Amino acid sequence: MAFRCFSSLGAGKNTLVFRQLFDCVSSTYTYLLGDATTKKCILIDPVLELARRDFQLIKELNLKLIYAVNTHMHADHITGSGHLKRLSGCKSIISKHSGAEADILVTEGDYIDFGNHKLRVLNTPGHTNGCCTFCFEEHGMAFTGDALLIRGCGRTDFQEGDAATLYNSVHQKIFALPDQTLLYPAHDYNGLTVTTVDEEKRLNPRLTKSLHDFVHIMDNLKLGYPKQIDKALPANKVCGLYNLPEELKDGLS
Ligand SMILES: N[C@@H](CCC(=O)N[C@@H](CSS)C(=O)NCC(=O)O)C(=O)O
């Protein structure tokens, strides 16, 4: 099992615990956000095979997991939400527009609270209907899922992908955040970890183009289908509410 773990932040009364965790198989970032005062924490986009790693870290940091949050219904890996529910008793969260089931369904304007902190939910569809960006305004951070990747964006050629919708989501919602907002994506395929609104407004090779040119780019990406899509989509549609089939339990403890 290969994984990396980066960075922590925080000072002051409402101390934030922050970790950026990586799955080398699907190049997925999982984010641990915790409140050192109340000990409550959440995970954004946990990966099934690394749920035990994430839970172990949470225990080591003396935190209590309350939510396994999903930016959307991923096609390239199975969410760790279900396994984490069994390990920790947390609840699963996903957008009400995702078509997936979860303990809690959210939409634009909702807040996800953990202790003294809260994330504001923005609907940023286009890669899928249920894609959300979670804004952490207090710390000038946002978790963009697959809507905006560093110098890229989520593909729009399956699920409910729609390039024009994605373009509008990024321009009207994500690029409307303050320029210095730190943007944390759900994936990176080039070893990068974080970007800013300002950087992507200036440097994103797709999203600096006109809508017309963006749609043309997205229609011609010619990416191979994600290797795990056939098992990921059915499993993620229930977002950890039910027991995993036996064949998906290999290697889990
Ligand atoms: N090779 C990977 C899948 C890579 C991929 O398609 N990534 C998606 C996000 S996960 S559905 C994407 O939107 N990529 C955009 C891009 O420009 O790369 C696998 O087999 O899982």
- Whether 241 is covered by a domain: the verdict is no
The ipTM (two decimal places) reads 0.98
pLDDT of 147 > 90? The answer is yes
Is residue 53 domain-resident? yes
pLDDT, tens digit, for every residue of 65-114?
Answer: 999 999 999 999 999 999 999 999 999 999 999 999 999 999 999 999 99
> Is 227 close to ligand 1, i.e. is its CB under 6 Å away?
yes
CATH label of the domain that carries residue 56: 3.60.15.10
- Ligand 1 atom nearest residue 229's Cα: 21
Residue 190 covered by a domain = yes
Residue 147 lies in a domain: yes
pLDDT tens for 178-208 read: 999 999 999 999 999 999 999 999 999 999 9
The reported pLDDT for the residue numbered 77 is 97
Atom of ligand 1 nearest to the CA of 228: 21
Per the document, the length of the chain is: 253
Residue 117 lies in a domain: yes
206 lines ligand 1 (CB under 6 A): no
**Ligand 1 close to Cβ of residue 223 (< 6 A):** yes
Mean per-residue pLDDT over the chain, rounded:
93
- Find where tokens 């950890």 sit: 240
**Percent of the chain at pLDDT exceeding 70:** 89
Best probe residue, ligand 1, of 156, 189, 190, 192 (max atoms within 8 Å of C-beta): 189
Query: pLDDT tens digits for 111-130?
Result: 999 999 999 999 999 999 99
pLDDT for 10 beyond 50? no
**Residue 12 predicted with pLDDT over 80:** no
Ligand 1 atom nearest to CA at 149: 15
Q: Are 215 and 167 in contact (CB under 8 A)?
A: yes
**Closest protein CA for atom 1 of ligand 1:** 226
79 alpha carbon to ligand 1 midpoint, in Å? Answer: 15
List the residue whose alpha carbon is closest to atom 6 of ligand 1: 226
Q: Cα(first)–Cα(last) distance of the chain, in Å?
A: 14
Domain membership of residue 243 (yes or no) is no
Query: Of the residues 155, 166, 219, 233, which should be mutated to test ligand 1's pocket, given the most ligand atoms within 8 Å of the CB?
Result: 155
Asked if residue 229 is part of any domain, the answer here is no
User: Which of the four pLDDT bands, split at 50, 70 and 90, describes residue 3?
Assistant: very low
Residues 48, 31, 233, 157, CA torsion sign:
negative
Q: From CA 83, how far away is CA 236, in angstroms rounded?
A: 12
User: Would you say residue 158 has pLDDT above 80?
Assistant: yes
The answer to pTM > 0.90 is yes
Domain count, the chain: 1
Residue 25 placed within a domain = yes
Is the shortest distance between the CB of 155 and ligand 1 below 6 Å?
A: yes
Residue with the nearest Cα to atom 21 of ligand 1?
226
The single-letter DSSP state of residue 166 is H
Residue 88: which domain range? 3-224
